[in-house]
Structure 1
Amino acid sequence: MQIVAIYIRVSKKEQAKRGVESSLSLQLKKCTDHCNEKGYKVLKIYQDIESGGHDDREGFVELQKQLNKKIFTKIVFWEISRIARITSTGMKFFESLDKYGITFDSISQPFIKDVMTLGIFLSIAAQERIQLSERVKSNSLERTKMGFFVRGVPPKGYKRSEEDSKLIVPDFENAKIIFNIFETYSQTGNLTETGRQFGKTKNEIVSIIDNRIYIGEVVHGKYKGNLYSKYREQKKGQEIWYKGLHEPIIPKELFDYCQKLREANFRLSQSYGEGKPYLLFSGIVKCTCNSKMFQLKRKREYKGKEYDYYSYCCSNSNHKKSFSSRKLDSSIKNFLINSEYLKKINDVKTNFNCVNEKEKIEKDIKKLMDEKERTITLYQKGFIDDERLENQFKDIKNKTENLNLKLRSLKSVKESDNVIENFEKLKYIIENYSEQDIIETRVILKLLIKEISIISFKPLEFSIIFR
């Protein structure tokens, strides 16, 4: 008596969900009927709900592992394409059957007996898969152009329509969260802070802020499929957006404003190469070879944990000298704060006018006026209620009054009142700066310090030249 393993497969879950009428059930019935008719003993049934173009199907892999044990004398399946839709995979499988003396029955193709016929039908199955993939892509594009949300899981804030699975509708509870995320980012301009308030990572906030689905658009070509893999590769910048049929949950004005903030922050981070400056004196320090030393960031490991390690690195590629930023920064700071000699520069008075501070305040006031207009637009479109409108106006009013008060006080200050002692200013800057204002602090230091020259690294000696 033949000891048989049955293998059945469908590509999609929908083909396995229709009970006795499902494609998977029909395959199983035909295979078991065939075995009963022939008098075979069915030892085990293997099944997959996955494309035949994937070699790592769970059931298929398990079946192949059992072949060398020779517990089966025959494999039964409905047709050759159920085994594989990749020619090389199919040929390898049938070569294994031949190696272990296991025969097969293809119920709908009983004439397949020799290797040549087998190869032809496997090639046909592979070609059918390619043609089917192209038809799916074409249909997907046309449906997307019509405004349907064709593929994938709807983003947070939306859900599939019960009437049409290709349409999405707002999920109002989550849609409110998404709206608040956009609002918060528009006010803070900080992705990390926005993420902290909503319990999300910076990358999660970015994926929300950049998602045009929230303004009523649908996308095609965001991912590139691979015929020989179940995973899709994201194609950044190559996707095409079309007007969708779904209701937007974010006003276009708010989305565009957030994108402008994103672009401004991106330009700022790009202008600093590999990342935000961390070292106070980068670009001011000169190596013993007289070349400038700049920030270098590397990864190091301590007790199994990875951390960022910063150092000053000589810009002379032939010298390649680097030195601990912690040691150098600490020595320079202590020298500036504690040196009695440095106080001699107090004899040199520098007039700092208030022009830059006034300009900054005036810009902040203009931003608040823009925020007020944007709030009115959101209210007119029904995205915020009366209570939120009133609170926003109160907040804008208070901030504007405070800024105007600062502006008036600056305008009343005489130029002579702004004479600041260089040493005291340096001391205050060095003792009170934070990582958040590292960029501004470096700008001020470069206005006061011309260069810091390293005389020797061991022992560490340096000299400071002021402007």
Structure 2
Amino acid sequence: MIRAVIYARVSTAEQAEEGYSIDAQIDSVRKRIELDGKQVTTYYVDRGISGKSIEKRLQLQQLLKDAKEKKFDEVWVWKTNRLARNHLDLLKIVEELNKFNVNFKSCSEHFDTTTPQGRLMMNVLASIGEFERETIVDNVKMGMKQRARSGKWNGGQVLGYISVKSEKDDNKTKLEVVDREAFIVRDIFRLYSEGRGLKSLTNHINKLGYKSKKGNMFSINAVKEILMNPIYIGKIRYNRRENWSEKRRKGINNNPIIVDGEHDAIITMDLWEKVQKLYSQRSNKPNRIYSGSYPLTGLLKCPACGSSMVAGRVKKKHKDGTYVIHRYYQCGAWRNKGTAACRSNSVKADKVEEFVFNKIQESLLNENILRDIVNNLNGKRKSTIKPLEEQLLQIEKDIHGYDSKKSKWFELYEDGMISKEDLSHRLGTISEEVEIKRKLKESIQEKLRLNNSEPIDFNVVKNLMNNFNDIIRNANHDKKKIILNLVIDKITLNINREVQSIILHFDRKTKNQLLGEKEGGSSDEDLSSFNFTLVL
């Protein structure tokens, strides 16, 4: 009998939409599969996750892994956009399934990916679907821009205001001033206008115990954003950044929408103009020119608070008038939030870098030490994986058992033994229990994915270490920093600010980088993800 599996997905916005729910998808697809005389072996479900990319969809990744291991013959979905919203991603996934001789089927769209005509039909349907989604997105963006131009708030959180529903229209929101937060905003503008710099101001308000909208300490950047936000003089600013999902902070729009809003101002126009003028004068100061490099930035962790250490330097003047610059790594929380968050906990950059590089080379080129590390890792992985696999097997049995329970309750209802209310209550309880089991299943599958049962090959690891050390010794600054951030997870310091441990992380991406291989190359020597710690 043909073994079929079902993949279902909902994004957060679709959870409540009729026809999109997980149960509705699975029920429709399961009935169709059973009508074809095929056996449903398992379900793969990604809940509350966008279909824009596959990176965060753990169940889809597990499905592809199981397809490679020949655990089923067909993958069924309610609709192709459940598998992928992006046409290119859909083609890649289907191509991957075809490589493993696994067919792809859609319950609501009729095509057969094993034939040229079927693949053409799938491409056409996927293209139409993508066009429809992009059209909807464009229309939504257009509507939000129009709302902004009318001075209306498009939603979001901002210190000093709260977004409330309009009394006239529940679908519309407006901003109202929150006095206890507006006081903080006024204080920030006043202190800056009186001559305080960003770092001094941030340190001051954190010492006073002021908190951000989310209840955190203020960072320098958060204070700067407040000072630059025209919302506090009664303006609406919209579309400041474009294509956020792709460009993030780099997608700056030089011509955002800025219009008079419908909300009350928190500060006066005079104060706003004074602050903007002062900030403009200060920002025109030339940047300090320094060519020093900090390859361990973000990898070193503060011994007091655990924050990442960042670049710092001290310029000292000699008697003859010359200068010398000393490089340090300093606590990032202290640098960004002031003494209310932490202390500097500085360590000399030259000293810590030399120590880290020497220890890595000394430890990872010693074959005896490396063999002990690999043996310990394999032993730990083996002891960890077996109980997880047994637990996963039991959970899958439990989930299948709930289907039988549902059938029994339906039979009792059909026989008049229980009321409709009792049936609804029982089914609701079962759905809650299934949801708990599925979440636990996803958690275990993720642990198994990170701890592949295949033993780590000593020769592969030895080869990686040799290349790693060669790159660290010979690479330029930019290349060295990339590799270090790729391989080192973190470096911890003790209370004496001495290196305590170096935690390294290796996966397929690391292997490709260190050995100069391309993504998607030969999988004969694929290296599963693993961490190991050099305790010093």
Q: For residue 41 of structure 1, what is the aligned residue in structure 2? A: 40
In 2, the alpha carbon distance for the partners of 1:107 and 1:302 equals 52
Counterpart of 2:29, as a letter, is C
1:420-455: CA deviations, max 9, x gaps? xxxxxxxxxxxxxxxxxxxxxxxxxxxxxxxxxxxx
Q: Residue 243 of structure 1 is aligned with which of 260, 267, 272?
A: 260
Q: For residue 158 of structure 1, what is the aligned residue in structure 2? A: 161
Counterpart of 1:188, as a letter, is G
**Structure 1 residue 28: Cα displacement:** 3.3
Task: Structure 2 unaligned segments of length 5 or more: list them.
Answer: 207-217, 301-308, 324-536
Q: Residue 132 of structure 2 is aligned with which of 128, 131, 154?
A: 128
In 2, the alpha carbon distance for the partners of 1:56 and 1:106 equals 22
Q: Is 1:104 aligned to residue 104 of structure 2?
A: yes
**Structure 1 residue 233: Cα displacement:** 4.4
Quick check: 2:6–2:29 contact (8 Å CA) kept in 1? yes
Q: What SS class does the counterpart of residue 75 from structure 2 fall into? A: strand
TM-score normalised by length of structure 2: 0.48
Quick check: 1:78–1:108 contact (8 Å CA) kept in 2? yes
In 1, the alpha carbon distance for the partners of 2:271 and 2:192 equals 10
Quick check: 1:54–1:230 contact (8 Å CA) kept in 2? no
In 2, the alpha carbon distance for the partners of 1:184 and 1:140 equals 35
Q: Residue 29 of structure 2 is aligned with which of 31, 37, 45?
A: 31
In 2, the alpha carbon distance for the partners of 1:166 and 1:24 equals 31
Q: Residue 170 and residue 72 in structure 1: after superposition, are their counterparts in 2 closer, same or farther (change >3 A)?
A: farther
Q: For residue 256 of structure 1, what is the aligned residue in structure 2? A: 273
1:202-227: CA deviations, max 9, x gaps? 32221110011122222222121167
* Worse overlay, 298-307 or 237-246: 298-307
Q: Residue 167 and residue 37 in structure 1: after superposition, are their counterparts in 2 closer, same or farther (change >3 A)?
A: farther
1:362-394: CA deviations, max 9, x gaps? xxxxxxxxxxxxxxxxxxxxxxxxxxxxxxxxx
Q: For residue 178 of structure 2, what is the aligned residue in structure 1? A: 171
Counterpart of 2:320, as a letter, is L
Q: What SS class does the counterpart of residue 299 from structure 1 fall into? A: coil
Quick check: 2:9–2:48 contact (8 Å CA) kept in 1? yes
Aligned pairs (5 A) from 1:307-322: 307-308=312-313
1:269-299: CA deviations, max 9, x gaps? 1xxx323xxxxxxxxxxxxxxxxxxxx5332
Q: Residue 320 of structure 2 is aligned with which of 317, 325, 328?
A: 328
In 1, the alpha carbon distance for the partners of 2:33 and 2:19 equals 20
Aligned pairs (5 A) from 1:26-425: 26-38=24-36, 40-58=39-57, 59-113=59-113, 114-151=118-155, 153-163=156-166, 164=170, 166-199=173-206, 200-225=218-243, 229=246, 231=248, 233-235=250-252, 237-267=254-284, 269=285, 273-275=286-288, 297-299=290-292, 306-308=311-313, 325-326=317-318, 328-329=320-321
Count of paired positions: 290
In 1, the alpha carbon distance for the partners of 2:249 and 2:52 equals 14
In 1, the alpha carbon distance for the partners of 2:281 and 2:247 equals 37
Quick check: 1:48–1:60 contact (8 Å CA) kept in 2? no
In 1, the alpha carbon distance for the partners of 2:247 and 2:19 equals 27
Quick check: 1:48–1:57 contact (8 Å CA) kept in 2? no
Q: Residue 208 and residue 162 in structure 1: after superposition, are their counterparts in 2 closer, same or farther (change >3 A)?
A: same
Q: Residue 216 and residue 115 in structure 1: after superposition, are their counterparts in 2 closer, same or farther (change >3 A)?
A: same
Task: Structure 1 unaligned segments of length 5 or more: list them.
Answer: 276-295, 311-323, 332-467
Q: Residue 77 and residue 251 in structure 1: after superposition, are their counterparts in 2 closer, same or farther (change >3 A)?
A: same
Q: For residue 424 of structure 1, what is the aligned residue in structure 2? A: none
Quick check: 2:30–2:40 contact (8 Å CA) kept in 1? no
* Worse overlay, 296-305 or 116-125: 296-305
In 2, the alpha carbon distance for the partners of 1:127 and 1:207 equals 36
1:236-262: CA deviations, max 9, x gaps? 533221222222222222222211221
Q: Residue 106 and residue 61 in structure 1: after superposition, are their counterparts in 2 closer, same or farther (change >3 A)?
A: same
Counterpart of 2:290, as a letter, is K
Note the aligned Cα RMSD (angstroms): 3.1
**Structure 1 residue 300: Cα displacement:** 5.2
In 1, the alpha carbon distance for the partners of 2:225 and 2:23 equals 41
**Structure 1 residue 26: Cα displacement:** 3.0
In 2, the alpha carbon distance for the partners of 1:94 and 1:301 equals 44
In 2, the alpha carbon distance for the partners of 1:131 and 1:302 equals 45
**Structure 1 residue 77: Cα displacement:** 0.9
Quick check: 1:301–1:307 contact (8 Å CA) kept in 2? no
In 2, the alpha carbon distance for the partners of 1:170 and 1:234 equals 30
Quick check: 1:158–1:171 contact (8 Å CA) kept in 2? yes
In 2, the alpha carbon distance for the partners of 1:87 and 1:93 equals 10
**Which protein has the larger Cα radius of gyration, Structure 1 or Structure 2?**
1
**Structure 1 residue 107: Cα displacement:** 0.9
In 2, the alpha carbon distance for the partners of 1:157 and 1:74 equals 54
Q: What SS class does the counterpart of residue 321 from structure 2 fall into? A: helix
Q: Residue 149 and residue 308 in structure 1: after superposition, are their counterparts in 2 closer, same or farther (change >3 A)?
A: same
TM-score normalised by length of structure 1: 0.55
Quick check: 1:74–1:105 contact (8 Å CA) kept in 2? yes
